[in-house]
Homo-oligomer: A and B are copies of this chain.
Amino acid sequence: MGTIVIKFGGSSLSTTDKIKQAACRIADYKKKGKEVVVVVSAMGKTTDQLLQLAGEITENPAKREMDMLLTTGEQVSISLLSMALTEMGVPAVSFTGWQAGIVTEKVHSNARIIDVKTNHIEEKLAEGKIIVAAGFQGVTEDGEITTLGRGGSDTTAVALAAAIGAERCLICTDVTGVFTSDPRYVPKARKLPSISYDEMLELANLGAGVLHPRAVEFAKNHQVSLEVRSSTENEDGTVIEEEVSMEKNLVVRGVAFEKDITRLTVFGLKNELTGLSSIFSVLAENQIDVDIIIQSQTDGNKTNLSFSIKNKDRQAAVNVLESQKETIGFENIECEAGLAKVSIVGSGMVSNPGVAAQMFQVLADENIQIKMVSTSEIKVSAVIAGDNMISAAQILHDTFNLGTVVEKEKIQ
């Protein structure tokens, strides 16, 4: 009998009615003869409410105590969902992170899973019970409660699926699958029946938001078959696995975009070697994520350096760099806020060197100025003015024919 892992996020569990709906969907899988492990997040706004309580006590809570506080959120969800399943006549048992055997490294608020002890889960599965496990949380070997950081529940689901050898890990969410682009802005966007880990990884990192990149990476490393699907609609989602059976050679698979980006330029950096490392060290120490980095030569002694960060980090980035102006050794800083990043993703790009050029040409034809560029083997990103983001995404979606279902036979 096959085992599946099903993950429900907080918005799919925000009320007791939604919890009952989720229970119905879970019961359907059980009726189909599957062994089922469910992984859940905290209900809707619970985490925000807990954060507010902590904020009333202190501005600098110890991370250990924050983990202690926040992990209560999933514990409420698992108990209520287990009750809802049992009420429907489907025996279920809830497990906290430590009861589910999720062992993490000794780090609070952003721990990595180092082991999954499945004996407890396997024992209850053998009794015919559905396991409802708390996502996002684990325990160190010393018995300290930890959390896995953003996207933690996705990671828990994938880790459990890998550990128990589940045939598939379903990520149930607000959308019905992974789309060629965001349908709210690109009306022709359509759902992809399948996509590779690497493509999903680029899309996830590019802000597509359906699935946390860390979970995708974990799934790739452990060859866990993922499916992103609706938590309410009963239609096939998007399967993420190594071998993409359909549309294998389609060059571009999706267009992702992300707004609220700032380009920050450091002028007159004196020593390229130490300057570069000290700039990015100081930003990392202050939890400022840097995305695209471009370095340009000005004269023999000095360089200019541009990089993109999120708008919200702009003031902090400027402050920390200015405070170390002497040590780093630069002349001045300039910011340009309100930018956006548009990216095309597809594993077929590796063997199609003309794709990036085609992208730049299309944007140029529309008078959209490209301010920064970044490429990987399977994606090309361009930073442009925020106002151009939607139209750029729509044009790229049309250019690469993403709105059309392509028959396997027709692909070159």
> Least Cβ distance of A91 to chain B in Å?
9
- The listed residue (B53, B65, B76) touching A16 by CB distance below 8 A is B53
A383 interface residue, CB < 8 Å from B? Answer: no
Contact digits for A51-79, partner B, Cβ 8 Å, 1 yes 0 no: 00110111011101110110110011011
The complex is assembled from copies of this chain, and their number is: 2
Complex Cα spacing A235 to B42, Å: 42
Complex Cα spacing A99 to B145, Å: 9
Please tell me if the beta carbons of A120 and B143 are within 8 angstroms of each other in the complex. yes
Please tell me if the beta carbons of A78 and B68 are within 8 angstroms of each other in the complex. yes
CB-nearest residue of chain B to A54: B83
Q: How many residues of A contact B (CB 8 A)?
A: 37
Please tell me if the beta carbons of A20 and B68 are within 8 angstroms of each other in the complex. no
Chain B residues in 8 Å Cβ range of A65: 79-80, 82-83, 86, 94
A50 interface residue, CB < 8 Å from B? Answer: yes
- Known: A75-B68, A75-B75. Is A57-B145 also a contact (CB below 8 A)? no
Chain B residues in 8 Å Cβ range of A87: 57-58, 60
Chain B residues in 8 Å Cβ range of A64: 93-94
- Known: A19-B57, A65-B94. Is A143-B82 also a contact (CB below 8 A)? no
A96 interface residue, CB < 8 Å from B? Answer: yes
A84 interface residue, CB < 8 Å from B? Answer: yes
CB-nearest residue of chain B to A82: B65
Give 12 A-B pairs besides A54-B79, A62-B82, A68-B75 with Cβ atoms closer than 8 angstroms.
A57-B83, A58-B83, A60-B87, A62-B83, A65-B80, A68-B78, A68-B96, A69-B76, A72-B72, A75-B75, A99-B145, A120-B143
**CB<8 Å pairs between A and B, sample of 23:** A16-B56, A20-B57, A53-B80, A54-B80, A57-B87, A58-B83, A58-B87, A60-B87, A61-B86, A62-B86, A64-B93, A65-B79, A65-B80, A65-B86, A65-B94, A66-B79, A68-B78, A68-B82, A69-B76, A71-B75, A72-B76, A96-B145, A99-B143
